[in-house]
Structure 1
Amino acid sequence: MANTPFRHLASRITGDRARALDPEEERVLDKMNERLPISRDAADVADERSTIGERLADRVAAIGGSWGFIIAFTCVLVGWMLLNSDVLTHWGHAFDPYPYIFLNLLLSTLAAIQAPVIMMSQNRQASKDRLAASLDYEVNLRTELEILRLHEKLDVAIAERLDQLLAATVDTAR
Structure 2
Amino acid sequence: MKNETISKLLSDEQKHLEKLHKIVKESIDAEELIIHNLSNPEIENLTKGQQISDSVALFGGSWKFIISFFVVLTIWIVFNVLAIGVYKFDPFPFILMNLILSCIAALQAPIIMMSQNRQEEKDRKRSENDYLINLKAEMQIRSLNQKIDVLLEEQIKTLFETQEKQFELLKEINLKINKKI
TM-score by length of 1: 0.70
Within 2, Cα distance between the matches of 1:120 and 1:43? 26
Code of the residue aligned with 2:74 in structure 1: it is: V
- How many aligned positions are there? 139
SS in 2 for 1:112: helix
Report the equivalent of 1:12.
none
The structure having more radius of gyration, on CA atoms, is 2
1:1-174 equivalence runs, <5 A:
37-39=33-35, 40-41=37-38, 44-45=41-42, 48-85=44-81, 88-174=82-168
1:99 aligned counterpart, secondary structure: coil
Judge conservation of contact 1:42–1:135 (CA < 8 Å) in 2: no
Post-superposition Cα deviations, 1:59-101, rounded to whole Å, max 9, x if no partner, equal 111100111110100010010111111xx22345301111111
Structure 1 unaligned runs (5+)? 1-31
Partners of 2:33 and 2:75 in 1: how far apart? 57
The residue type equivalent to 1:143 in the other structure is A
Amino acid in the other structure paired with 2:67: I
> Bigger CA drift: 143-152 or 58-67?
143-152
TM-superposed deviation, 1:149: 2.1
Q: Give the AA of the match of 2:143.
A: R
Computed over aligned residues only, the root mean square deviation of the Cα atoms, in angstroms, reads 2.4
Structure 2: stretches of 5+ with no match in the other structure: 1-26, 169-181
Aligned sequence identity (%):
41
Divergent runs of 4+, >6 A: none
Contact 1:43/1:128 (8 A) holds in 2: no
Q: Aligned in 2, Cα 1:151/1:62: closer, same or farther, shift over 3 Å?
A: same
Distance 2:106 2:80 in 1: 24
Larger fraction in helix: 2
